[in-house]
Amino acid sequence: MRYDYEISFLAVGHGDATLICQTAKKHAVLIDAAIAAPVLSAISTISELKAIFITHWDEDHFGGMPAVIKLLTSQNKRDVTVYINRQFSKTKIAQRFRRTLDEGREEGTITIPPAFADNSGHVKTIGGIFFILWPYNYVGIINPEDRNLDSLILRFEVEAISVLIGGDAKGVVWPRLDNKGLRSKVFRFPHHGGRLSTSKKSWSANKLISEVDPEYVVLSSREKSRQHPSQEFFEAMKNHTTRKFLFTSEGTIILQAESKTGAICIKE
């Protein structure tokens, strides 16, 4: 079988970095970059980075991005689109990243449209479409002190393949989305497997996995952590024994996908 896409969930510790590559052209899209080294190594295997998505302004999702932008500038890349979460953070790494973004924009390396569901909500690239499912611009920042509430939720679709990237979206967010738009073959579970259900209006891990109905559930987390994955997540695993659960704590995960048939396998 000829696989035409590779979905790489990079081992970056307690953080996120996902690279989706159209294998024929070696064109790719990067979602988050917790630390630089493994991300830069992955980028070195492609011919062109077409776009970047930053789900939210927590260091375990964007800490390696300054190095990525600087690499693109050093390679004299032009007009790489960086879809950026509209959040604001005053941390030192966030301020450094903002400077890097400003420098990249001034150099012409990148363009920076805001990312939310009702503005540039459909991004066509690498042969498919990225749908920004959350947040909505008209809702406004829900809670500036809790950036996870406004974390991007992305869904990549190309023919029979679909990949849902949950960012760090909390359980209270998911019921606000169209359930039909969540169905995906591959699901990068949100918030490193942390507890989702914190109120009656929140979805639990079990409910979320049932609604997405994936073949593969991918979790990015440290090998040992008190709250990640949560007991709620482990209980959900017991209820979904027919699905494949994969953990980046065991190393980078690469899924090969055939877009016409929807066939997916783990690259050995």
Q: What's the mean pLDDT in 252-261?
A: 97
* Token representation of residue 200: 């009656």
23 in Cβ contact with 3 (< 8 Å): yes
pLDDT of residue 2: 87
pLDDT of residue 20: 98
Q: What's the mean pLDDT in 74-99?
A: 89
Count Cα atoms within 13 angstroms, Cβ side, for 118. 7
Residue range 141-167, pLDDT digits in tens:
556 678 888 899 999 999 999 999 999
Distance CA 112, CA 200 (A): 37
pLDDT-derived band of residue 116, with 50, 70 and 90 as boundaries?
confident
Nearest to 57 by CA among 17, 84, 38: 84
Q: What's the mean pLDDT in 120-149?
A: 81
Q: What's the mean pLDDT in 17-41?
A: 97
Tell me: pLDDT of 245 over 90: yes
Q: What φ, ψ does residue 103 adopt, rounded to 5°?
A: -65, -40
In the chain, % of residues over pLDDT 70: 94
SS (H, E, C) 199-259: CCCCCCHHHHHHHHCCCEEEECCCCCCCCCCCHHHHHHHHHCCCCEEEEHHHCCEEEEEEC
Q: What's the mean pLDDT in 202-219?
A: 97
* Token representation of residue 125: 């690239």
Q: What's the mean pLDDT in 82-102?
A: 88
pLDDT of residue 199: 85
How many helices (H) and strands (E) would you count in the chain?
A: 6, 15
* Segment among 102-106, 176-180, 246-250, 251-255 with least mean pLDDT: 176-180
Average pLDDT across the chain, whole number: 91
Q: Using CA atoms of 42, 43, 45, 47 in order, give the dihedral in degrees to the nearest 10.
A: 160
pLDDT of residue 227: 67
pLDDT of residue 143: 64
pLDDT-derived band of residue 136, with 50, 70 and 90 as boundaries?
confident
Q: Is 164 exposed, middle or buried (0-12, 13-18, 19+ CB in 10 A)?
A: buried
b/e burial code for range 30-39 (CB count within 10 A of at least 16 → b): bbbbbbbebb
Distance CA 17, CA 12 (A): 7
* Token representation of residue 156: 């990549």
Beta bridge partners of 244: 216
* Segment among 53-57, 108-112, 219-223, 231-235 with least mean pLDDT: 219-223
175 in Cβ contact with 200 (< 8 Å): no
pLDDT of residue 58: 92
pLDDT of residue 120: 59
pLDDT-derived band of residue 234, with 50, 70 and 90 as boundaries?
very high
pLDDT-derived band of residue 35, with 50, 70 and 90 as boundaries?
very high
Q: What is the domain count for the chain?
A: 1
Residue 186: give the domain boundaries: 5-266
Query: Domain holding 133: CATH number?
Result: 3.60.15.10
pLDDT of residue 49: 97
pLDDT of residue 204: 96
pLDDT of residue 198: 85
Tally of CB atoms within 10 A around 180: 7
pLDDT of residue 106: 95
pLDDT-derived band of residue 222, with 50, 70 and 90 as boundaries?
low
Q: What φ, ψ does residue 90 adopt, rounded to 5°?
A: -105, 10
